[in-house]
A and B are shown apart, each in its own frame.
Chain A
Amino acid sequence: MTQDVTAPPEPAASDPANRSAARQIAMIWVVMTVLLEIFAIFVPARLMGVAASKTMTDIKTTMTVFTITAAPVAALVWSIALYSLLRWRHRGSGPPPEDGPALRGHTPIQIAWLVVSSVLCLFLFIWGLVEMQAEASQSTAGALVVDVTGQQWTWTFTYPSGGGYTSPVLYLPDNRPVIFDVTSNDVVHSFWIVQMGVKVDANPGEITTASVTPDRLGTYLVRCAELCGLYHAYMVAPVRVVTPAAFTTWLHDHANSQS
Chain B
Amino acid sequence: MRVWAVVAGAVGAGVIIAAGTGVMLSYGSNPAPVLDAAVHGYEQTAAGRLPHAFLSLATYPDSLAGEHGKGGGPHPDWVSYGPTTNLEVPAHAVVTVTIRQYDTGGPIYNPFFAKVQGTLGGTAIVNGKTVTGINPNTVAHTFTVHMFPANQPGVFISVPLPGVSATAPNLANGYPKPNVVTFSFITGGPGRYIWQCEFPCGTGYQGFGGPMSTQGYMDGTLTVG
> What residues make up the interface of A, taking CB atoms closer than 8 Å to B?
93, 149, 151-154, 156, 158, 166, 168-169, 185-187, 204, 219, 221, 229-231, 234-238
Whether B42 is near chain A, meaning CB under 8 Å from some CB there, is no
A69 to B: closest C-beta gap in Å:
35
Question: With A204-B206, A229-B208 in contact, is A154–B198 under 8 Å at CB?
Answer: yes
Q: Which residues of B contact A166 (CB under 8 A)?
A: 112
User: Shortest 7 CB-CB distances between A and B: which pairs?
Assistant: A186-B206, A166-B112, A185-B109, A186-B208, A234-B194, A168-B156, A230-B213
CA distance A221 to B151 in the complex (A): 12
B215 interface residue per 8 A CB criterion: yes
Binary interface encoding of chain B residues 131-175 relative to chain A, with 1 for a CB under 8 A from any of its CBs, else 0: 000000000000010111110001010100000000000000000
Q: Are A154 and B146 in contact (CB under 8 A)?
A: yes
A204 to B208 alpha-carbon distance, docked (Å): 13
Cα–Cα distance between A186 and B208 once the two chains are bound (Å): 7
A152 x B194 contact (CB < 8 A) = no
The reply to whether B208 and A187 form a contact with Cβ atoms under 8 Å apart is: yes
CB distance from A10 to the nearest CB of B (A): 29
Which residue on chain A has the smallest CB distance to residue B144?
Answer: A154
A220 to B194, CA, bound (A): 20
Q: Which residues of chain B are within 8 angstroms of A149 by Cβ–Cβ distance?
A: 110, 112
Interface residues of B, Cβ cutoff 8 Å to A: 1, 109-110, 112, 117, 144, 146-150, 154, 156, 158, 194, 196, 198, 200, 205-206, 208, 212-215, 219
- Closest CB-CB distance, B122 to chain A, in whole Å? 9
Decide if A236 touches B117 in the complex (CB within 8 Å): no
For the A-B complex with A230-B214, A234-B146 known, give 12 more contacts whose Cβ atoms are closer than 8 Å.
Answer: A153-B146, A153-B194, A185-B110, A187-B206, A219-B149, A229-B208, A229-B213, A230-B219, A231-B194, A231-B219, A234-B194, A236-B148
A-B residue pairs in contact (CB < 8 Å), sample of 30: A93-B1, A149-B110, A151-B109, A151-B208, A152-B213, A153-B146, A153-B194, A153-B196, A154-B144, A154-B198, A156-B110, A168-B117, A168-B147, A168-B156, A186-B109, A186-B205, A186-B206, A186-B208, A187-B205, A187-B206, A187-B208, A229-B213, A230-B215, A230-B219, A234-B146, A234-B148, A236-B147, A236-B150, A238-B149, A238-B154
Contact yes or no, A236 B110, CB < 8 A: no
Chain B residues with Cβ under 8 A from A187's Cβ?
A: 205-206, 208
Q: Which residues of B contact A231 (CB under 8 A)?
A: 146, 194, 196, 219
**Assembled-state Cα–Cα distance A244/B11 (Å):** 58
Residues of A within 8 A of B110 (CB): 149, 151, 156, 185
Of listed A168, A185, A221, residue having the most chain B CB within 10 A: A168
A220 and B156 alpha carbons, distance in the complex (Å): 16
Roughly how many angstroms separate A204 CA and B206 CA in the complex, as a whole number? 10
- Residue in contact with A221 in the complex, picked from B149, B206, B214, CB distance below 8 Å: B149
Among A186, A229, A238, contact of B147 (Cβ-Cβ < 8 Å): A238
- Judge whether A152 and B149 touch: CB under 8 Å: no
Complex contacts, A169 vs chain B, CB 8 Å: 147, 156
A185 to B212, CA, bound (A): 14
**A-side contacts of B213, CB under 8 Å:** 152, 229-230
Closest B residue to A230 by beta carbon equals B213
Contact indicator B212/A152 (Cβ below 8 Å): yes
Interchain nearest-CB distance for B58 vs A (Å): 22
B212 neighbours in A (Cβ, 8 Å) = 152
Looking at the complex, which one of B149, B196, B200, B205 makes contact with A236 (CB distance below 8 Å)? B149
Using CB atoms, name the residue of chain B closest to A168: B156
Q: Is the CB of A151 within 8 A of B194?
A: no
Contact of A151 among B148, B154, B198, B215 (CB under 8 A): B198
Give the Cβ gap from B109 to chain A, nearest Cβ, in Å: 4
| Docked CA distance A237–B155 (Å) | 11
* Closest Cβ neighbor of A151 among chain B residues: B110
A186–B109 Cα gap in the complex (Å)? 9
On chain B, the residues within 8 Å of A154 by CB distance are 144, 146-147, 198
Q: Which residues of chain B have C-beta atoms less than 8 A from A151's C-beta?
A: 109-110, 198, 208
Distance A154 CA – B208 CA, assembled complex (angstroms) = 13
| A185 cross-chain contacts in B, Cβ below 8 A | 109-110, 206
Q: Tell me, in angstroms, the Cα distance from A158 to B111 when the chains sit together.
A: 11
A154 (CB) vs chain B CBs: closest residue: B146
Residue of A with least CB distance to B149: A238
